[in-house]
A and B are shown apart, each in its own frame.
Chain A
């Protein structure tokens, strides 16, 4: 597949595709962070994660419409408001879902998968009924248009860069929350030994609800960020859900660093191969390699060594 390219050409191709892959990387990181919290810490598979993300995207769409008609002067800053709103709405819905559904299913992880799949079907159809089947997009504020010229071959669009910064700051934020805060300590205590954590006075049901809500809220922020780089339709969440689960599992479910590493690896592999093969073949090859490695290392790339 490398025939007919000189080594310097190959280098610039890799650099170019590497930069292109960075936007896929931020998509993966944004989606996978929420999933990794819920799946890695609670063992719950949330198939409706994509739909929570779309909820965030639609919230951003509505906020931008609101600013455009009522507060045109502040339009440049609507995104910050939208992001907070998206987080709050998704987290609230997440807490509700946890209360109605998930808490009854904690000892049946495979059933959470089916139940949340049902939830995702309902949410998708609800979007279709409310917003229509067509994709919607938001208008970008002026400061987000344009691109940085890095070299004469490579230029970085500002909105892509912005999404990347959001992705990385969420990753850092989640890391700090999980490993440097009292809440994170409680979450990890519950994950490792629930009865013991309860015995020392941790409200494990409350921790579960907060964690699920947090994961859903992060999905909302992810959705808000996605409106910056693409349009949103009722079923766009489902398109990513399998990839993202693979990212989380591949990285090692309980390791946030692993999630980032695997998101980077998968997005770069796919983007680089896309140049040489067709898009679908690149995806097939990437998924095959991931599945193959998972068969050899079922615990994921970076497995937490925990005594069970």
Chain B
């Protein structure tokens, strides 16, 4: 299938979905919300980056990573280190016993900036690190695991262990990382005060822009042959392998891509929220990130954005008024999504709203070209269903998911 030309794309249904999201994020929400709330939406959107990555890697390729918080955190910490160094000039930290180093290092009797902090004086290095560090780690993990055909449940448990390792490490090494409080008191980005309302609004729009860029990349991947190999791999890994594809390479690629998205999300999170701490990246946070993706629909990148927005908005709403109820609601969400609608909101939309729409839009002569979405999506859903019930797969063998 060829990608439709730019003009057709805007009249196609998929184009309309993107336009609707753009209208929501760029027009409706900024007009309806005050800067404080808008900033909160921006924070939720940074989780959407992780969810998009999870759709690619879990929904499409069947690799469930329970350690996406690690990549989110690495991106976030890279950005936070840069901002912290900028906030800790010798003049600003003159009262410390060693001026010029971040305050928590001074409290922990460090007299010198650790070597791995040094490069973060440079903004361009930081920008590369935000994407590069998570990708490097993902590459290392992926190389070790996928070439040895570790997958499914085993992969999930190991990524979870890695999330545990990173959290313990950050909390334990207080002098180097700020410990359990994280890196706080971030003020300026290249001399631009990020704490003002104007800056927060700008950052929101930057975040939305980056989000659309990520959606574009994800869509590019999923609609090419590459995306279809990923889906095929999920359904019948061995058949793909016997067809001559290097399954491990594709898995490593999609895992790195997801890590890169998560890293960007983390960096934006640091900018928008103004600090970074281990509580956003541990096991609990990582599993919550999976539910953002699962609720929106594990096969739909747009669904992931809505999932992240909805779950986080519900979380803020609930925990403001009934803090006791939130864990119950969250637990029910996990069970309900898995048992009742495994394809999430996007799945519900496809099976209930879309047929309705079809009837309504039938009279419209405007949509002349055959619609690209059903063709592009149908194989994905059909194949996944097949996976669930295919008696040919040995579901009980541990190296398969």
Contacts and interface: CB of A to CB of B under 8 A. Distances in A.
Given A284-B168, A284-B169, A111 B157 contact: no
A276 interface: no
A118 B397 contact: no
Interface string B165-198: 1001101100000000000000000000000000
Contacts of A281: 172
Contact of B153 (A109, A254, A284): A109
A249 interface: yes
A295 B144 contact: yes
Interface residues of B, number: 51
DSSP class of A's interface residues: helix, strand, loop or mixed? helix
Nearest to B144: A295
B206 to A, nearest CB: 32
B161 A253 contact: no
Interface in A169-183: none
A194 B395 CA distance: 10
A196 interface: no
Interface in A33-51: 39, 42-43, 45
Interface string A78-116: 000000000000000000000001001111111101110
B158 A121 contact: no
B161 A122 contact: no
Interface in B308-340: 324, 327-328, 330-335, 337-339
Given A43-B396, A125-B328, A125-B331, A298 B338 contact: no
Interface stretch (A21-29, A135-143, A286-294): A286-294
Contacts of A108: 338, 342, 388
Given A117-B287, A122-B327, A295 B165 contact: no
Contacts of A296: 148
Contacts of B149: 298
A124 B326 CA distance: 12
B399 interface: yes
Given A246-B157, A246-B161, A308-B397, A110 B331 contact: no
Contacts of B144: 295
A191 interface: yes
A242 B282 CA distance: 12
B61 to A, nearest CB: 12
Contacts of A117: 287, 334
A278 interface: yes
B290 interface: yes
B333 A118 contact: yes
Given A122-B331, A242-B164, A110 B395 contact: no
B199 to A, nearest CB: 36
A209 interface: no
Nearest to A125: B327
B152 A110 contact: yes
A35 to B, nearest CB: 11
A253 B330 contact: no
A287 to B, nearest CB: 5
Given A109-B401, A242-B160, A118 B338 contact: yes
Contacts of B395: 43, 106-107, 109
Given A111-B338, A308-B397, A242 B172 contact: no
B248 interface: no
Contact of B398 (A105, A121, A253, A287): A253
Contact of A119 (B335, B394, B397, B399): B335
Nearest to A245: B157
B164 A287 contact: yes
B335 A115 contact: yes
B331 A114 contact: no
A25 B194 CA distance: 50
Nearest to B149: A298
A207 to B, nearest CB: 13
A69 interface: no
B352 interface: no
Contacts of A101: 335, 339
Interface string B131-173: 0000000000000110011101110111011101100110110
B304 interface: no
Contact of B172 (A43, A119, A245, A278): A278
Nearest to B401: A110
B294 interface: yes
A129 interface: yes
Contacts of A39: 153
Nearest to A106: B395
B291 interface: yes
A119 B327 CA distance: 10
A118 B294 CA distance: 13
B79 interface: no
Nearest to A107: B395
Interface in A186-218: 191, 194
Contact of B334 (A115, A194, A254, A291): A115
B115 interface: no
A114 B396 contact: no
B283 interface: yes
B164 A110 contact: no
Given A101-B335, A287-B165, A288-B165, A114 B327 contact: no
29 contacts: A42-B396, A43-B153, A43-B396, A45-B157, A101-B335, A108-B388, A109-B152, A110-B152, A113-B64, A115-B339, A117-B287, A118-B330, A118-B333, A118-B335, A119-B331, A120-B331, A121-B327, A121-B328, A122-B327, A128-B327, A245-B161, A253-B398, A278-B172, A280-B172, A284-B169, A291-B161, A295-B148, A298-B150, A308-B397
In order of increasing CB-CB distance, the 3 nearest A-B pairs are A118-B334, A280-B172, A122-B331
Given A114-B337, A287-B165, 5 more contacts: A109-B395, A118-B332, A121-B334, A128-B327, A295-B158
Interface of A: 39, 42-43, 45, 101, 104-111, 113-115, 117-122, 124-125, 128-129, 191, 194, 238, 242, 245-246, 249, 253-254, 278, 280-281, 283-284, 287-288, 290-291, 294-296, 298-299, 308
